[in-house]
A and B are shown apart, each in its own frame.
Chain A
């Protein structure tokens, strides 16, 4: 625990020092605000436009969470189907591979045409990006069961459902969680991509507006909130992991890296 505390203190101090140096640097060299605002100017902007920021923040959060949850549900369901049916695996895999190969940023405009300029298209882009690490990790988790575990429960006349519920699913939880941790940060990116492409809400939209108006403090404020969102969501998943699977040891987690 004291190790953890030390880590936290070190991180916080580092961040504070960076901000202080930043503030001093900008003032010292007289850098104009539209290039780099001081941290205090950003904070002032955030305080001034608090209700604007919070409104756009919640929109992005909403799109991110919906896309992520959709990714979790469909990802785990598809993974289970793939593990249990060779036929359906052969049907699903090519589709997934194609979806993964197509750059998400490039299909975002198409999604806006299909699903409109509201939250739905953003949610779907977030989903599309978040989905892949979940399905890949879940499949490898469900498959990485010791054969003898299955033999043991089979010798007790276990049904297929029991084998799934009592053996494969719990065994895959550490894998699923490492997928979730990758996915949640990707889901934020997905929502932002959607907002960049079109729409009139969300922190991504706010960044585009700030860009047009050369309102750099507004842009930095949005960036701060986006980082906070990613950080907190990631933290929540890590907390859930610690609460739900305290038996897990990190070295057995398989982190599957994915590009966009």
Chain B
């Protein structure tokens, strides 16, 4: 792992949200790296600064202090080298599924025709082919989120950033989406960061889990997940899986788990 290329490097990242009366210290001192093709999850309680980290990496939010490098370059603003998935699917309701997937191509002013096959392949991969001409409102929550994952992948960005992408889904759909996401990831091998407040989800998906303390956000520990891949539904009932979940739960500061 250590010999691989670092894609994301974060050192002493600090973020203060300015506010008239009391500025909010969202992140105090965060440092971690993400290696090429690695799947890292960030887990922590609500409000500990997970979204803040992701938005800073995406260049959507300015940092207060520290260094953030993406592909060796300092992040100064948004760059199309990362695909983003939010908690809500954020689909454009006036576009068909296929047109939603192709949105990044239009924004990047690339030739739509060159990416049509890629879009159809992604829809095939996520079992959405027969819905390509539907409007988003005709799809279930899980299907909508799969569309938004396709959209994040269409321009083939080296990095995939996901902010609680399955947080709005019911538990069963969520487990299915986890398996499905790993399947996509094993085919496309993006360097991925996924944020979650579900410890089981964090363990199931990750090569490494970054555990955050409650506010102000700091890294409590980084845990290597040595579960074999490919991971399947059965992985969740293995003793090692439960052990890792317990370890991480205690690091977050949960008394009962």
Contacts and interface: CB of A to CB of B under 8 A. Distances in A.
Interface of A: 146, 148-149, 151-158, 162, 166-167, 170-171, 173, 245, 247-249
Contact of A158 (B58, B107, B135, B137): B107
Given A146-B90, A152-B90, A245-B94, A157 B108 contact: yes
Given A154-B60, A155-B84, A157-B78, A167 B92 contact: yes
Contact of B86 (A148, A158, A162, A249): A148
A167 B137 CA distance: 17
Nearest to B107: A156
Contacts of B12: none
Contact of B92 (A151, A154, A170, A245): A170
Contacts of B84: 151-152, 155
Contacts of B95: 247
Size bin of chain B's contact surface: 20 to 34
B184 interface: no
A166 B107 CA distance: 8
B126 interface: no
Contacts of B108: 156-157
B106 A166 contact: yes
A157 B88 contact: no
A94 to B, nearest CB: 28
Interface string B40-80: 00000000000000010011100000000000000001111
B90 A155 contact: no
B100 to A, nearest CB: 11
9 contacts: A151-B55, A151-B86, A152-B84, A156-B80, A156-B155, A157-B78, A157-B107, A170-B94, A247-B93
A190 B78 CA distance: 49
Nearest to B106: A166
B90 A162 contact: no
B82 interface: yes
Given A148-B86, A148-B88, A166-B103, A155 B93 contact: no
Contacts of B94: 170-171, 173, 245, 247-248
Minimum-distance CB pairs A-B, first 7: A156-B107, A170-B94, A148-B90, A155-B78, A247-B135, A247-B94, A158-B107
Given A162-B107, A173-B94, A245-B94, A155 B58 contact: yes
Contact of B60 (A155, A162, A167, A245): A155
B209 to A, nearest CB: 25
B103 to A, nearest CB: 7
Given A157-B107, A157-B108, A162-B107, 13 more contacts: A146-B90, A151-B84, A151-B86, A152-B86, A153-B103, A154-B60, A155-B59, A155-B84, A156-B104, A166-B92, A166-B107, A247-B94, A247-B135
